[in-house]
Amino acid sequence: MCYDTRVINSLSVRAARAEDKDAVLAFCQNTFQWGDYIPHVWDRWLNDSNGQLLVGVVNDQPVSVMRVAIHGTMAWLEGMRVHPDFRRQGIARATEAEGRAWARARGCRVARLATSIKNLAAQTMLHLSGYQRIAQFNEWESEAAPGDFSHARIASENDWQQLDALWRAAPMYAASRALLPDRNWHWTPLDATRWSEHLSRGEVRHTASAFSIVITFDEQDWSMMSLFALVGDEEQMYNLACAARHEAAYRGYPRLEAQIADQPIANRALARAGFTPSGGMFIYEIEL
């Protein structure tokens, strides 16, 4: 891959400033068909002391952006964007490398990120940068459907040790590399802290030997219920997936999405329960 060395040599990567906002958001408008989420998170990311928002600058013009979030000794990289006029010049790789260096200097031992299974350009860059693909999470969607979901009981904090034992013994644990997406779309371990958060919010549904995690999002312009975990045998997962559709209808959410690690029995259970595949994410990792 050939770069214009004049561009990459003039690039500097620094902490974002408030005055960078308009320039950055201008090249983030058409990232996806529906726009981009960067405008909604910019202010929060800029002021978050548990991470760093970075911009790449050429001739005083912001041309790239990326955020690093710290989770213990893991750095989560997200929001990589490059100005259309400056793509294919090595700017994404240089910005990402600075993000890893920032995380390494703060004691992180590994960096992870997620990218769409359709984003071949990002996958090529990550491979060239030394990342390893460690997991695939399939995206599913379904309409809510009225029905009985009383068999999927809301778990309490007293249930967490039994549920955690189920999680660690499940094939899904290995398929997911012990990771699950969280509310901020960071793939992190389902550890004691996360168990406590999900259980205290009433987000865990379980039967005798299976469980799911359902999370709701109520934003200004969209409202959704999402299935973030599904553990059990195929019949149990099918029942919990159906229960999630029924609960969504009861709670007034017209649609339901799922982010579940790629596993044959989970895929079959979701398809049987009326979910349609809609894409997916690859999770990548690199040691720091």
The answer to whether 5-108 and 137-281 have equal CATH topology is yes
Q: What is the spatial distance between Cα 285 and Cα 179, in angstroms, rounded to a whole number?
A: 12
* Averaged pLDDT, 235-246: 98
Q: For residue 258, give the nearest of 180, 194, 171, 152 by alpha carbon.
A: 180
In this model, does residue 86 exceed pLDDT 80?
Answer: yes
The Cα 36–Cα 21 span in angstroms is 14
Q: Are 208 and 216 spatial neighbours (Cβ–Cβ below 8 Å)?
A: no
pTM value is: 0.93
Neighbours of 176 (CB within 10 A): 27
CATH code of the domain occupying 137-281:
3.40.630.30
Percent of the chain past pLDDT 90, that is, above it, reads 86
First to last CA, the chain: 25
Q: What per-residue confidence (pLDDT) applies to 118? A: 94
Q: Report domain extents, the chain.
A: 5-108, 137-281
Residue 64 CA, distance from chain mean position = 20
In this prediction, residue 8 carries a pLDDT of: 66
CB atoms within 10 A of CB 38: 20
CA neighbor of 238 nearest in space, from 136, 117, 161, 140 = 140
Tell me: pLDDT of 32 over 90: no
List of E strands, 84-166: 110-116, 132-143, 153-154
Write the CB contacts of 9 (distance below 8 Å, at least 6 apart in sequence). none
Band (pLDDT 50/70/90 cuts) for residue 11 is confident
β 110-116/74-82 pair status: parallel
- 5-108: CATH superfamily: Gcn5-related N-acetyltransferase (GNAT) (3.40.630.30)
Query: Buried (b) or exposed (e) across 255-275, using 16+ Cβ within 10 A?
Result: ebbbbbbebebbbebbeebeb
